[in-house]
Structure 1
Amino acid sequence: MELRQLECFVAVAEESSFTRAAARLHVVQSAVSATIAALERELETPLLLRTTRRVGLTDAGRELLPKARATLDAARDARDAVHAVKGGLRGTLRIGTMSSLGLIDLPALLGRFHRELPAVTLRLATAASAGGSPGLLAALAQGRLDVAFVSIRGHPPAATHLRDLTSTPLDLVVPRDHRLADRNEVAISELADESFIDFPPGYGNRAVTDRAFTAAGLQRRVSLEITDIDAGTDFVRQHLGIALLPRAVIPSGNDLSILPVTGADLDWPISLATPTGRTPGAATRAFEHLVTQYLANSPTGSLPCASPP
């Protein structure tokens, strides 16, 4: 049994597709199929259920998957240890992220990380492509991500650990000619008959808003769903609805009014999620350390070294 065989098996299992697994591994599909076939011959049992629509796991495949992941993690740790002795960490760090992180400057974080550890390849997966924070957590639990910025209230899935980083209030954004534009604040009870621009179900800020309206005993109408926080104000300007957006990312403008909402808990939390069933690699630990130090030093705007303690 070779590491390459296990790598192909894990990729197919996680992607539920030979085609997507081949693209992920940067090889042709026939090579993935041949590698899996060789592994099945060696183990003398089918590992995958192949249909015209998707690829699933047999009972044997389900038993092998966590052990294959653990073996690949152990091999990664061994490589990391050797590279650390040689003076340079290598590998790939797969990061999931929402479209906005409030006051957290992700490009600055990644820029510093890259300067400190240039041999580590960074790959980003967005909430828009994953299906919001729940999709990012699922990808994390399945081993397709190493770490993810998410917005989840309550208990996280059993396979993930959440570390709270920060939160920012959601403020109401309306056009300047809106009936509420000249107010200093607005009660949530006054918003029941409005049309809202919001994110699809599963996104963190949508969950915060839905929870607040439910707690207030109010119905809410969402007339337009978007996936880009920065574009939210543009839709408001076009009178397509009003929006509750994170205070930290709302741009100023004379054509908009921004109002705090009273009578509701509209804090949007941001957390760093890591898997509980896998040992984090050196690159993941270095990134977590960088995030910790960034938040500790954020009032001064300084960024620390990315090397783990």
Structure 2
Amino acid sequence: MELRHLQHFVAVAEDQHFTRAAERLLVSQSGLSASIRALERELQTPLFVRTTRRVTLTEAGRALLREAERILAGVRAAHEAVAAVQGVLRGTLSLGTEQCIAGVNVAGLLAAFRRRHPDVEIRLRQTGSGALAEEVAAGRLDCAFAYRTQADTDQLRSVALAGEPTTVLCHPTHRLAEAGAPVTLDDLDGEVFVDFHPDWGPRRATDAAFAAAGVRRTVALEVNDVHSLLDLVDENLGIAVVPRHFRHKRPSLTALPVKGADRPAYETVALLPPAQSTSPAARALMALGEIRGA
């Protein structure tokens, strides 16, 4: 099995199209097809289901994709490690982050990284914490800033950055705001909730807190960005249970602490692969002073 076969396979899997993958790889379509056929012969199983419009992975293909991504990530890390020993940090830093993450100024951190390592290409992806954990574990991202949504595994480790308690945001005319007192989760029973998609870290932590308290809640208004959430609450269409730092983003809203939630309910972490697989670029990013004490 050759590395180029795995590179070709991953490209086709990502693009779901032989022609687009060939164009991206700067190889002929016939050569790409031959490479995939050689890989399928070696593994003695089809890796793709081919149609006239696109190709999709078979079950065997999905299994290979996970391993191929890890292998290729390891090869990239090896090349970058040799360059780092030679005194030059090159290659690519693939970073992921959830929106409005607490504990780290992502833009400022990347600016500081670029000043110190101008030869490293920076790629940034913003999505939910659940997806970020999967992409770091699969080797598609070097590092990610996320909310903790799972325990560490053999393929994923976390470095704690910050923690925050729970806050309820509501319109100033809402009954909770008029009472002006801290609330319990039981006090929120029957309310209309605004929240993020289930893949977001704060949504997962909030769902877990309500489940542990035995309080049912239904998210009626589901959004995929912080400002939309704040807009909906600002129009008195629902309340939101969020990390405490969100209250500073919309001072017009009333922020109420949650009784019994003084401990950090939302933990911000840096997600990394195992130490031996962490790229030099990710290690250099984590070593920057701007990330400490955030």
The answer to whether the superposition gives a TM-score over 0.5 is yes
Q: Which amino acid in structure 2 is aligned with residue 213 of structure 1? A: F
Q: Which amino acid in structure 2 is aligned with residue 89 of structure 1? A: L
CA–CA separation in structure 2 for the residues paired with 1:155 and 1:101: 19
Cα distance change on mapping 1:252 and 1:16 into 2, 3 Å: closer
Q: How many residues align?
A: 288
Q: Does 1:155 align with 2:148?
A: no
Question: Which has the bigger relative contact order, CA under 8 A and spacing at least 6?
Answer: 2
Q: Does 1:288 align with 2:289?
A: no
Q: Which stretch of the first structure deviates more once superposed, 147-156 or 210-219?
A: 147-156
Q: Does 1:256 align with 2:257?
A: no
What SS is found at the alignment partner of 1:50?
strand
Q: Which amino acid in structure 1 is aligned with residue 148 of structure 2? A: I
* 8 Å CA contact 2:129, 2:201 repeated in 1: yes
Shift of 1:154: 4.4
Q: Does 1:124 align with 2:120?
A: no
Q: Which amino acid in structure 1 is aligned with residue 273 of structure 2? A: P
Q: Which amino acid in structure 2 is aligned with residue 77 of structure 1? A: A
Question: Paired residue for 2:161, among 165, 170, 178?
Answer: 165
Identity %: 32
Partner of 1:73: 74
* 8 Å CA contact 2:206, 2:242 repeated in 1: no
Q: Which stretch of the first structure deviates more once superposed, 57-66 or 227-236?
A: 57-66
Alignment of 1:90-239 (within 5 A): 90-127=90-127, 132-182=128-178, 183-239=180-236
Shift of 1:4: 4.0
Partner of 1:301: none
* Aligned Cα root-mean-square deviation (Å): 3.3
Shift of 1:288: 2.2
* 8 Å CA contact 1:205, 1:268 repeated in 2: yes
Shift of 1:72: 5.9
Cα distance change on mapping 1:266 and 1:119 into 2, 3 Å: same
Shift of 1:210: 1.2
Q: Which amino acid in structure 1 is aligned with residue 75 of structure 2? A: A
CA–CA separation in structure 2 for the residues paired with 1:188 and 1:65: 40
CA–CA separation in structure 2 for the residues paired with 1:34 and 1:181: 66
CA–CA separation in structure 2 for the residues paired with 1:140 and 1:63: 17
**TM-score between both structures, scaled by the size of structure 1:** 0.79
Q: Which amino acid in structure 2 is aligned with residue 261 of structure 1? A: V
Gaps of 5+ in 1: 299-309
